């Protein structure tokens, strides 16, 4: 089956480019139709990328509004093109897991992720880069000749659980034409520093096959990432990981110890810890519910990592259901969790919670909703901001915004985190805001204001004109009349533009004088 392709020079993400029947040996049970699809994606570098994947349609007659969709994010298969599931098939346990979704009446889309079976490297454990791959294949599948509903949820295992949680951060804003229902994440390695620390703590233990794959995969994100702490044998394993499948890595690492490879206590190396920490899933108040499955006998992801993540996610205000399967290992959690995951999905399939209305000032800044300002509040806000304006998360414009938000967090923490616990409570924030002198507003906020305004300064004038500003604010959900009032409040010199200095003044007002008649109240209390 071939879909018609757009003649536009720039195709929209999620455009179906072509589709063909999947080989029978790669089809899971209960699939009435199965396709290998090629669709338009966005690469981790911000440029358009060809992405492949599989689409499975259930047997039988679709509901009146079409089959609801599970966007499945697969676990690690390897880094080479020949390990793409649409080319070689999913692992046995994952194929059975997808078959169960099909039997329950869901169509399933399964992206290969960018860089697997298509040009360019695969950004391994770069959740922000593959989240759009997961979403865009749902868009592409709806262009096939099958009735698929707008309603969809994401489900992922292992690396795919990590990708699914990043998808949850952006899904509703990235694809507003779809009805996103929630997230299933099984054995997700949400905190790679802890996972790798656990797997490399014993010098005499055999090398965990995921460790060299992680080290090799991180070269995509950090080409300068050096492995000079590895022995020759360790370096050869990392090189091998770029070329072989996960199954082959299991064989290659079975009789090799951490000590022999130089991989003992990997996270003691500051560079390794820093790079792994960038892969951590941020804690946020998610706008849709989450089902988390942990394996009690997991030999890859310690269940405590998933438990702590679930607690933090719930404390942030997310709706979380966590189930631990005591006898399951990293692979068999797919089977153990399936009945609970499908029950949970059925419960949420017809329900989309209303958006949470933010409280003013501190509560508005507290994106995670846990009563504290912390690094993740700023990470999540910046990521959602650039995604909502259509900028890939690692484009130059996006990275300028994200870097500036990180700098803003560091500046705030340095002045207000009086107990040095790495977060700012409401009392600490209000005490900081109540101090008479704040001399670093310009120094700290100018890079941020410049970067954010650049997102919408489409004509490159260096200022945001009224039409650009209204497009920005209404895109963020502010009613047009409120957006016009906000523009008038910010445009202090009545020149019909908003400039960096005016945003800085409004931000200072918000922190020091947030009265309802001040621009800062509008900028943060309403917008």
**Residue 463 pLDDT grade (very low, low, confident, very high; cuts 50, 70, 90):** confident
Q: How far apart are CA 123 and CA 236, in angstroms?
A: 20
Alpha helices in 104-187 (DSSP H): 127-141, 159-174
pLDDT class of 433 with cuts at 50, 70, 90 = low
How far apart are alpha carbons 500 and 443 in whole angstroms?
12
Tell me the Cα Rg of the chain. Answer: 24
Q: Does domain 16-190+282-348 have CATH number 3.40.50.1820?
A: yes
Mean pLDDT of 46-52: 88
Q: Are 163 and 130 in contact (CB under 8 A)?
A: yes
Give the least confident one: 119-123, 330-334, 470-474: 470-474
In sequence order, what are the residues at sequence separation of 6 or more whose Cβ sits closer than 8 angstroms to the Cβ of residue 42?
13, 48, 49, 132, 136, 392
Which residue, chain included where needed, has tokens 């509040």? 377
The stretch 211-223 carries a mean pLDDT of 83
pLDDT, tens digit, for every residue of 62-98?
A: 999 999 999 999 999 989 888 999 999 999 999 999 9
State the pLDDT at residue 421.
79
Nearest-angstrom CA–CA distance, 354 and 317:
14
Distances (CA, A) of 364 to 164, 208, 312, 313, 377: 26, 42, 18, 17, 10
- Token pair in block for residue 332: 């068999």
Please name which of 349, 351, 354, 348 lies closest in space to residue 287, comparing C-alpha atoms: 354
Whether 188 has a pLDDT exceeding 70, the answer reads yes
186 bridge partner residues: 157, 293
Q: What is the pLDDT of residue 262?
A: 95
Higher-confidence position of 432 and 487 = 487
Using the predicted structure, report yes or no on whether residue 302 has a pLDDT greater than 80. yes
DSSP for residue 353: P
**Residue 119 or residue 458, greater confidence:** 119
Q: Are 113 and 87 in contact (CB under 8 A)?
A: no
**Cα dihedral sign, 326-328-333-335:** negative
pLDDT of residue 411: 80
What is the predicted pLDDT for the residue at 360?
Answer: 43
Confidence of residue 15 (pLDDT cuts 50, 70, 90): very high
Q: Which residue has the higher pLDDT, 346 or 389?
A: 346
Average pLDDT value over all residues in the chain: 84
Phi first, then psi: give them for residue 212, nearest 5 degrees: -65, -30
Which of 22-36, 39-53, 138-152, 307-321 has the weakest average pLDDT?
39-53
Residue 479: count of CB within 10 angstroms of its CB: 11
Q: Torsions phi, psi of 6, nearest 5? A: -70, 145
* Maximum pairwise Cα distance, the chain: 73
| Confidence band for 474, pLDDT divided at 50, 70 and 90 | low
Q: Of 100, 145, 115, whose CA–CA distance to 2 is shortest?
A: 145
Under 8 Å CB-to-CB from 365, ≥6 apart: which residues? 373, 377, 429, 524
Q: 120 pLDDT exceeds 80? A: no
CA distances from residue 269 to 18, 144, 237, 272, 277 in whole angstroms, order as listed: 45, 49, 19, 5, 12
Provide the pLDDT for residue 523.
Answer: 39
Q: Which candidate, 361, 359, 358, places its Cα nearest to that of 514?
A: 361
Q: Say which CATH architecture domain 362-526 belongs to.
A: Orthogonal Bundle (1.10)
pLDDT at residue 294 is higher than 90: yes
Q: Are 381 and 374 in contact (CB under 8 A)?
A: no
Helix (H) or strand (E) holding 374: strand 372-374
Whether pLDDT at 330 is above 90: yes
Tokens of residue 164, six digits: 């699914």
Q: Which pLDDT score is estimated for 354?
A: 36
Tell me the sheet residues that pair with 58: 31
pLDDT value, residue 169: 95
Q: Assign 481 a pLDDT band (cuts: 50, 70, 90).
A: low
Residue 364: pLDDT above 60? no
Please give the pLDDT value at position 199. 95
Tell me what the mean pLDDT of segment 214-225 comes to.
78
C-alpha dihedral sign at 315, 316, 318, 323: negative
Provide the 8-state DSSP code for 78: B
Range with the poorest average pLDDT among 39-48, 475-484, 511-520: 511-520
> What pTM value is reported for the model?
0.77
What Å distances lie between residue 488 and 315, 477, 495, 497, 522, CA to CA?
38, 18, 10, 9, 10
Residue pLDDT, tens place only, 190-210:
999 999 999 999 999 999 999
Write phi, then psi, for 447 (nearest 5 degrees): -60, -35
Instruction: Give the residue, 500 or 128, on which the prediction is more confident.
Output: 128
Q: What pLDDT was estimated at residue 379?
A: 84
DSSP 264-331: TTGGGSHHHHHHHHTTSPPP---SS-EEEEEETT-SSS-HHHHHHHHHHHHHTT--EEEEEETT--TT
Q: Which of 98-107, 121-130, 147-156, 253-262 has the lowest mean pLDDT?
A: 121-130
């Amino acid at each position: 089956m071939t879909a018609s392709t757009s003649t536009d020079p720039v195709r929209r993400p999620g455009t179906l480019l072509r589709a063909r029947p999947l080989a029978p040996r790669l089809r899971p049970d209960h699939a009435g139709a199965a396709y290998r699809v090629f669709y338009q994606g966005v690469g981790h570098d911000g440029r358009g990328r060809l992405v492949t994947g599989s689409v499975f349609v259930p047997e039988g007659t679709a509901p009146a509004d079409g089959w609801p969709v599970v966007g499945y994010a697969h676990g690690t298969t390897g880094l080479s093109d020949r390990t793409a599931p649409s080319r070689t098939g999913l692992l046995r346990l994952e194929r059975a897991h997808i078959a169960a979704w099909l039997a329950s009446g869901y169509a399933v889309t399964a992206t290969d992720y960018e860089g697997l079976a298509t040009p360019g490297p695969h950004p391994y454990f770069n959740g922000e880069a593959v989240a759009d791959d997961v979403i865009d294949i749902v868009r592409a599948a709806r262009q096939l000749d099958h009735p698929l509903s707008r309603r969809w949820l994401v489900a992922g295992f292992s690396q795919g659980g990590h990708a699914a949680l990043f998808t949850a951060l952006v899904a509703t804003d990235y694809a507003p034409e779809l009805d996103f229902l929630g997230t299933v994440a099984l054995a997700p390695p949400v905190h790679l520093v802890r996972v790798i620390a656990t797997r490399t703590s014993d010098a005499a233990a055999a090398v965990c096959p995921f460790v060299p794959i992680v080290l090799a995969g991180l070269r995509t994100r950090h080409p300068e990432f050096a492995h000079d702490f590895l022995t020759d044998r360790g370096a050869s394993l990392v090189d091998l990981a770029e070329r072989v499948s996960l199954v082959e890595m299991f064989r290659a690492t079975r009789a090799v110890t951490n000590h022999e490879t130089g991989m003992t206590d990997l996270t003691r190396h500051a560079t390794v810890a820093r790079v792994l920490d960038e892969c951590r899933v941020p804690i946020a108040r998610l706008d849709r519910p989450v089902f988390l499955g942990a394996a009690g006998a997991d030999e890859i992801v310690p269940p405590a990592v998933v438990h702590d993540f679930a607690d933090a996610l719930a404390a942030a205000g997310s709706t979380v259901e966590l189930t631990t399967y005591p006898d399951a290992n990293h692979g068999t959690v797919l089977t153990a969790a399936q009945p609970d995951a499908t029950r949970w999905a059925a419960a949420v399939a017809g329900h989309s919670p209303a958006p949470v209305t933010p409280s003013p000032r501190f509560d508005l800044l507290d994106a995670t909703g846990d009563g504290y300002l912390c690094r993740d509040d700023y990470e999540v806000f910046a990521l959602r901001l650039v995604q909502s304006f259509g900028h890939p998360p690692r484009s130059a414009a996006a990275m300028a915004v994200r870097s500036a938000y990180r700098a803003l967090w560091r500046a705030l923490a340095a002045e207000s985190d009086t107990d040095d616990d790495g977060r700012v409570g409401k009392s600490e924030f209000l005490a900081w805001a109540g101090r008479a002198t704040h001399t670093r507003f310009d120094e700290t906020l100018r890079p941020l204001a410049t970067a954010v305004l650049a997102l919408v300064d489409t004509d490159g004038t260096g200022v945001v004109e009224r039409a650009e500003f209204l497009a920005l604010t209404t895109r963020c959900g502010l009613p047009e009349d409120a957006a016009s009032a906000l523009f008038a409040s910010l445009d202090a010199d009545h020149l019909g533009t908003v400039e960096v200095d005016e945003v800085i003044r409004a931000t200072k007002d918000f922190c020091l004088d947030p009265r309802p008649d001040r621009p800062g109240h509008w900028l943060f209390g309403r917008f």
